[in-house]
Amino acid sequence: MAGKRLITVFGATGAQGGSVVNTFLNDPKLKSDWAVRAVTRDATKDSAKKLKDAGAEVVAADMNDKATLVSAMQGAAAVFAVTNYWEKMDAKLEVQQGKNLVDAAKETNVQQFIWSSLLNINKLSKGALPNVYHFDSKADVEEYAREVGIPATYFMPGFYMSNIPGGMFRRSPPNNAFTFALPVGPSAQIPLFDAADAGKYIKAAVLHRDELLGKRLLAATEYLTVTQIVEAFKKAFPEAGKDATFYSMPAEQFKGIFLARGMPDFAAQEFLENMLLLDQFGYYGGASLDETHRLVEDKLTTWDEHLRASKKWGEELK
């Protein structure tokens, strides 16, 4: 620990935070310079104990209790912060938790606050898509961090590759062939992100701190159209995928699937508008990934690699 800079990682047992912890503990460029403080709600659970065994300091904190956040950030040069909208599906709560994190970072003089952010879709769409709360709430926290004036970098994860199999891309009647069904046209582009890559982006953020303060780091391997996603599946699994197709699903049918699963109307509408975003305005508003790729030195996971390695696909292919 002596002489090392400290990064505090929130959500350390989750997908994004877990990847960041793993990268900073094991990457040859980082592990000799950085110590890791992994933050979780319950430091006694098995996943937290595994982080401790791996070499992280593990502490408990509550996003709703700023004093615990201040304690978790004490002495940290960098902080990676992420919140989980889907846990409570409460945008106001997520914004308050994010503001608590920002205030704690200001109070502890953190040199680089790395916020897991997203675009404000209500603003991007000029009100056409007003219900994508899990984007807009994170954008509100980003706006607050900019107003407060803390030194911050905004990490913006793309569309999770792991969300595609099973729900949107699955076997369908009548012939049991694989169908990728979304309420978009066949040329809609998706910026694909493997959550296991999160640490690679945060590594770039700290190595290029000065260049990235106040900037956004768009975290996606590549843009693929929905039809390219299907074609890659057919190539990876020629037998199972020989009849795979993309289906441009009517919006109300798509929303109805989530309502049938017992999801509240506002959340089903949010899922629908999240998909319409891809076609109508672009997940990142049409921004290029080139600048991020210039800064990230580690190889990012491709859709083809994710397909072949994913346990979820293994289940779907049975």
Q: Please, which residues have CB within 8 angstroms of residue 50's CB and are 6 or more apart in sequence?
A: none
Instruction: Please provide residue 8's backbone torsions phi and psi, each rounded to the nearest 5 degrees.
Output: -95, 125
Domains and CATH numbers, the chain: 5-157+195-219+286-300 (3.40.50.720)
Q: What is the pLDDT of residue 318?
A: 73
CA 80 to chain centre: 12
As a whole number of Å, the end-to-end CA separation of the chain is 47
* Pairing status of strand 216-219 against strand 5-9: unpaired
Q: What is the pLDDT of residue 310?
A: 85
Residue 313 confidence class, pLDDT cut points 50, 70, 90: confident
Q: Please, which residues have CB within 8 angstroms of residue 318's CB and are 6 or more apart in sequence?
A: none
pLDDT at 1 over 60: no
Burial 105-133 (b: 16+ CB within 10 A, else e): bbebebbbbbbbbbbbbbebbeeebebbb
pLDDT at 91 over 70: yes
CA distances from 121 to 11, 115, 282 (A): 24, 17, 10
Residue type, 59: V
200-241 pLDDT, tens digit per residue, is: 999 999 999 999 999 999 999 999 999 999 999 999 999 989
Token pair, residue 72, equals 């978790």
Compute the mean pLDDT over every residue in the chain, rounded to the nearest whole number: 96
112-156 pLDDT, tens digit per residue, is: 999 999 999 999 999 999 999 999 999 999 999 999 999 999 999
Token pair, residue 247, equals 């289906």
In percent, how much of the chain has pLDDT > 70?
Answer: 99
Neighbours of 35 (CB within 10 A): 21
Residue 55 confidence class, pLDDT cut points 50, 70, 90: very high
Instruction: Please provide residue 291's backbone torsions phi and psi, each rounded to the nearest 5 degrees.
Output: -65, -40
Q: Please, which residues have CB within 8 angstroms of residue 310's CB and are 6 or more apart in sequence?
A: 161, 162, 165
Helix (H, G, I), strand (E, B) or coil at 126: coil
Q: Which ranges of 177-250 does DSSP label H, i.e. alpha helix?
A: 198-207, 209-212, 226-236
Q: What is the pLDDT of residue 2?
A: 60
d(CA 311, CA 214) in angstroms, rounded, equals 37
Token pair, residue 138, equals 């994170």
Token pair, residue 88, equals 């409570």
Task: Reply yes or no: is the peptide bond before residue 151 cis, omega within 30 of 0.
Answer: no
The predicted model scores a pTM of 0.97
Q: What is the pLDDT of residue 317?
A: 80
d(CA 228, CA 212) in angstroms, rounded, equals 32
Residue type, 215: K
